[in-house]
Amino acid sequence: MDYAKLEKREAWLRHPVLGDPSFDAFEKVGETVHVSQAPYEWAVNGSIFRDPKTGFWYYYAGLYPYGYVSPPGKPELLSHFIIYRSRDKGESWECLGRGFEDFDCRFEGLEDTEMNSPDVVMTYEEETDRYWLTYDWGARHIDREEDWLGTDSGAALAWAECPEGPFHKLERPFWSNAIWKDNRHLGRFNRGYASSVFKRKNDWIAFVLQDSGDYFGWGLACRTAPSPRGEWSVPRLILSGDRPGYFPALMEFCFCVVEGDKVYAPATSVAGNRNYQIVFAADLERAEHPSAWKMIQEGSLWHARPIPEERGGIWGQTLQGFVEDGRAIAMYASKDDRDYGTLSVAALPLDKPFHDGFTISGHVGKSVSPILAAYGNYRLQAEMTFTGTAEIFLRYGGILGPNQHTSVSVVAEEAFSSSLSVELEEEGGYRVLARDHRGELKELAGGRLPGAPKTLEALFHRGKLSVRAEGELIWEGEAPERAMPLAVCAHEFSVLSCSRFEVEGIPGRYTLRYNAEDALLAAMQHISWQPSKEARFLCGRGYIGTGEQCAKWNIRGEGFRIFAPKTPELGYMEVWVDGFLYGTADLHAEEPEPSGKVYEVQGLPGESRHLVMLKGYEGQRFAVDMIEVDGDPV
C-alpha cells in the first residue's frame, strides 16, 4: 500500500496540534500580494472578492501593528485595511490605498473613541446593485490590557456602488460585544469579530466568529434580519466545541463563503503550527440551525511551501475565497522569517482537489502523523524531498497530544516515546534514534550523506530491522517485534513532501494513545484546571476534576480504553460517547493505586470519528490521564 496515493489520504491521523499530511492541489497564483513593513508588520488577515460585473479581483488586506498592539508612544497607529485590485486573475496587483479614507467608524454613544477597522469582507446584492462590506470595528490597540476596560468592539455594515468604495456606513452596528458579552445564549463566548453577512431569499444572515478568552475555545454564532438595517435577531451559537460529537479543538473561524445554495465555514487551528484546517457547510436557508451544519472536510486542505513568505504556516485566521472557472480561489495569510505578515492567493481545481503525494510541515514546533494501521513484518520504500529536518518513525508508540491545553501549543515530548526512527537533515546528516517509554533517547547510529536523501528503505523481519538511505545501509539491528504504526514528522520550520510511502506487509489493527492535555484542550476549560500531583499518572502529568468540569477526546477508531489512577478522594466518573452516557467508572480506593484501565468500549457504531467525554458523577472528583484508542486499518 502506498500511503502517498490520494486514495490513502484518510489513512493518516490528522490533529489540530499534531499536524496534517495534506494532499491538496492548491498552487500559488502570481506573486505575494502584500509583504508587511513597519509600522504595520502584521498583515495577517484579509479577504478576496470577484466583482461579478467587471470580473476584477479585489484583495482587502487587514493591517495591524506588530503583536496587534500599538507600540509605546505611537497611539496613532490604528489598524485598518487597504485594497488591491487585479485585472488579470491574480497574476499582478495594484494597490488602491486605504479602503476607509476619511471614513467615520464611530457610532452613537462612541463619538470620543477612535476606531480600528482592519478586517473586512465584501458581498454583492444583485437586486439593488449594491456592494455590501462587513467590517470589524473597535477601540484603538493600546499598550496596557487594563486600559481595555470600558471599551467596545463588534461588526457593522457599509455599502458602496463599486468594490473600491467610497463606502457609506449604516447608522448602527449589527454586533456589539459590550451588549452581548454576558448573553446566556453564547455561553462562555464573550467577543465576536471577523464577521460576514449574506442575503438570503427573504432575509439576511450574519456569521460572527466567537472567542472565549482564557477558555481557549472558538465558535461561530449567527443573527438574522429582514434587511441589513435590522432588526437583528438574538445571537445563536451554531458551531463550537460544546457540540456533542467530534469537533477538533482550537479551530478559529473567519469569513464564511457562499457558493450556490451552500454556505461554507473554514477554520484553522491556532496551535503553534497552524497547519490543520476543517470546513463546515450548511444549506444557506437553514444555516441559523446548529443541526444544519456538517463537517465536510477534515485536514488535507492546504500545505505550506518552503519559501520565506510561508515560514509561519497559515497565520491570522483562515482561508477565504470564491469559485471561478471551475477553480477555488483562496486568499491566505502567513508570516515570513522576520515574523512579518504576508498575504497571497492560491487556486485549486474543483474537479481534482487532491493529488498523489502529501506535504507535512512544522513551524514553531514539530508535526507528527502516524498511519492508522499497524505493521509487524514489512518493507518501506519512501521517496521524498524536504527542507530543514524530517523524521521517519519505523516503529511508533508515543502518547499523542499537546504540551499544554492552550493556543500556540505544540506536540508534547511524550508523543515521541516508545519509538524507533530515522532523523534526516537537509545538509545530509542522519541519526537512527530509539526512545523508551519514558522518552529517553538513545542514538543507535549517525553519519552524513552527500546531501539530503531522497529515498529511504526499511526492512523489518522477525525482530530485525535494516535501514538504507540513498541505497546506503545506515543501520541494522533488533527492534520490538509487535505490530506498530509507522509515522512521519517534520521538525521546526521544516517542510516534508513525500511522493512515495509504500509499505509492503499485512496492515493490522492499530493502537494510539492520547494524553490528558488533549482532553482538556478539546473541552475548552483551560481556566478551570490545575495539574495534580496527588495521584500516579501514566502520562507523567494528569488532572483532577470536579463539579461542572469535563474532559473530551476527539478520536479516530472503533474502541477505546480509559486509564486513570484511584485514590481515597476520587469517586465515580461518567463516560460519554457522542453525547450518550455509556457508563461509569469507580475511581475510589482505600489506598492510592497507580493509573490503570478503568473503562473500555469496543464496537463503536458508525464512522471512526467519535467524541469521548469524562465528567464526575453528580459532581464527584475524577481523574483525567490517558485514553488508548484502537481501530481496524484504514
pLDDT digits (tens, 9 = 90+) for 75-119: 667 889 999 999 999 999 999 999 998 777 777 766 555 667 889
Query: Which of helix, strand or coil describes residue 146?
Result: helix
Let me know how long the chain is: 634
Q: What is the pLDDT of residue 101?
A: 80
Q: What is the pLDDT of residue 190?
A: 87
Q: What is the pLDDT of residue 489?
A: 98
Query: 359-383: b or e for each residue (b if 16 or more CB lie within 10 Å)?
Result: bbbbbebbbbbbbbbbbbebebbbb
pLDDT digits (tens, 9 = 90+) for 122-175: 999 999 999 999 999 886 544 444 443 456 788 999 999 999 999 999 988 999
Q: What is the pLDDT of residue 529?
A: 85
Rounded to 5 degrees, φ, ψ at 561 are -130, 135
Is the peptide bond prior to 39 cis by the omega test (within 30 degrees of 0)? Answer: yes
Q: What is the pLDDT of residue 149?
A: 42
Distance CA 311, CA 386 (A): 14
Relative to beta strand 510-514, strand 399-400 is parallel
Q: What is the pLDDT of residue 540?
A: 78
| CA-based nearest residue to 614, from 569, 560, 534 | 560
| CA-based nearest residue to 191, from 226, 139, 233 | 139
Q: What is the pLDDT of residue 142?
A: 41
Distance CA 415, CA 19 (A): 12
Residue 150 DSSP code:
T
* Regions in the chain scoring below 50 on pLDDT: 141-149
Sign of CA dihedral 472, 475, 481, 486: negative
Distance CA 508, CA 109 (A): 65
Q: What domains are there in the chain, each with its CATH number? A: 26-351 (2.115.10.20), 362-508 (2.60.120.560), 512-631 (2.60.120.260)
Q: What is the pLDDT of residue 146?
A: 43
Query: Which of helix, strand or coil describes residue 372?
Result: coil
Max Cα–Cα distance, the chain, nearest Å: 77
Element spanning 519, H or E: helix 516-523
Distance CA 330, CA 347 (A): 6
